[in-house]
Structure 1
Amino acid sequence: MIKEYKSELLDDGITLLNEKKILFGQCGPDKRLHLSEVMQYCSDYVTELYTQRGYDRDFLVEHGYAQMVSRSSFHIYDLPKENDVITISVREEKPEGPQLMRCYEFKDSKSNQLLIVGKSLWVIVEPKTRAVVFPNRFEFLAKSDVETREECAKPGRIKFPEKLVHLSDQKIIYSMIDGNNHLTNSKYINFAIDYLPEQYQSKEITDFRLNFCKEIRKDDTMQVNAFFNNEENKILVEGKIASDGERSFECELIYK
């Protein structure tokens, strides 16, 4: 019998607690959770936090609102592996200017060991025009004054050198597109890793930051470029939109 795992909105109204078993299809060759699955959990549970408060995605769109992630940062202590049961908490924190701050913690359900911590900044936008709605004008905001100490790098801009190595081009296809009609945010980390030389793909990632700069849509092409800083065990990756030359995402990977 497959066990039913729980998703629970805590009494504070700003924290969602989720228990999940890591499945084979979510893991890579090392049997550990793909980073895109980390991103997917974080995105889905931000939506679920509002759903359990009575405001699902369709409700928000009908009222003129959509949530879009802007910047993310994570520190990895130990990636969970296949068949592990983990607890994921998502908490709404005090907004930063026009952006909403969310905090994430992944823990081993048996030992309570902290596995992954992260923070992300989100913007509320008008679905059609993408005009930003400030938090004080978002009537369904899960209001919070919580500001936890950051155990990961603060989400922020990533500085790139002028000269980058071109890694690959990838056309954006149907299966990459989400309900907002653009590349779903969890896929960006795949672009940052999939086209790296093989010797870097096997490295153990301890930290990563990922910023979303501009939407890319079906049938456009992502041009993936990188800078390798072997002295600092750091890789910078950007994705540019072929049709207009603008940056779609930027990523910083730190490895052991």
Structure 2
Amino acid sequence: MYSFKSRVRYSEVDKEKKMDMYSIINYFQDCSTFQSEDIGMGLAYLEKNKRVWLMNAWQIIVNRFPSLGEEITVSTWAYDFNSMYGYRNFMIEDTNGQISAVANSIWVYMDTENYRPIKVTEADIRGYNPEKKFEMDYAPRKINIPKNLDSLAEFPVIRANIDTNNHVNNGQYIKMAEEFLPSGFRIRQMRAEYRMSAVLGDIIVPMVCRENSTYTVVLANQEGKPFTIIEFKQQEE
């Protein structure tokens, strides 16, 4: 397990002084990036070998959103590598060791020259030392798209959405999707399935469906093909 300690910053909270899902994802991404950099498998290694790990799916369960100024510990560990896929858990704990949020993630290893998935080798995963899979209720990787979606106003991808891979960062899609949740919607679980990469200048068409306590947000291109499908489940009262 790889961990680092932090304190919730003002820039990471919403109007209720609580972290949002986007901030949680940023902490998780930072944690896995720090681990890769520290074991010599970070961006320099990937760029040299023309490789990249791309997010394929998220499942994040939130027990509670940490508050402004709170001290937290963020942790991650790989639990499996299979063919072109990598599987990784994440966790945020408070000072009492209570879990605020836990996640499962699935990554695809890509060859950046031909932009195709490529099988992971032993050299590619040295230092990660897979550990035991976290005990949780694992959801399927794929998300069913509801039929009764409402299309909303489209918008362009801007420079602030783009990461070092020159496409929209996986967390940015979640930030976009959170805008379509009603005020007061408290997230218990978020799932995301990533199908295509949006790049600078692409037009995103959001489509939304509410079914009981679940909101599904599809962020698609102008032909209706999804970039990402995000499912939010509401906390029970």
- 1:159 matched to 2:141: no
- 1:222 matched to 2:207: no
**Hey, what does 1:180 align to over in structure 2?**
165
TM-score by length of 2: 0.93
Tell me, yes or no, if the aligned pair for 2:72 and 2:92 is still in contact at 8 Å: yes
Cα distance between partner residues in 1 of 2:92 and 2:128: 23
**In the comparison of the two structures, how many residue pairs are matched?**
234
Unmatched segments (≥5 aa) in structure 2: none
Cα distance between partner residues in 1 of 2:60 and 2:128: 23
Q: 15, 22, 47: which one pairs with 1:36?
A: 22
Cα distance between partner residues in 2 of 1:21 and 1:54: 26
The SS at the match of 1:139 is helix
Distance 1:36-1:126 versus aligned 2 partners, 3 A rule: same
Measured against aligned partners, the alpha-carbon deviations of 1:81-125 in whole angstroms (never above 9, x if no partner) come to 1100100111011124531000011000x2111100101000111
Cα distance between partner residues in 1 of 2:183 and 2:199: 26
Cα distance between partner residues in 2 of 1:114 and 1:143: 23
RMSD: 1.6
Tell me, yes or no, if the aligned pair for 2:220 and 2:228 is still in contact at 8 Å: yes
The SS at the match of 1:40 is helix
Cα distance between partner residues in 1 of 2:224 and 2:217: 15
Task: Measure how far apart 1:149 and its partner are.
Answer: 4.0
Letter matched to residue 124 of structure 2: F
- 1:20 matched to 2:20: no
Tell me, yes or no, if the aligned pair for 1:239 and 1:247 is still in contact at 8 Å: yes
Identity of aligned residues (%): 18
Q: 63, 73, 88: which one pairs with 2:49?
A: 63
Distance 1:157-1:128 versus aligned 2 partners, 3 A rule: same
Tell me, yes or no, if the aligned pair for 2:89 and 2:134 is still in contact at 8 Å: no
Distance 1:149-1:46 versus aligned 2 partners, 3 A rule: closer
Distance 1:52-1:145 versus aligned 2 partners, 3 A rule: closer
Cα distance between partner residues in 2 of 1:105 and 1:155: 19
Distance 1:172-1:251 versus aligned 2 partners, 3 A rule: same
- 1:139 matched to 2:119: no
58-67 or 221-230, which deviates more: 58-67
Letter matched to residue 222 of structure 1: I
Where do 1:111-150 residues align within 5 Å? 111-135=96-120, 137=121, 139-141=123-125, 142=127, 144-150=129-135
- 1:208 matched to 2:194: no
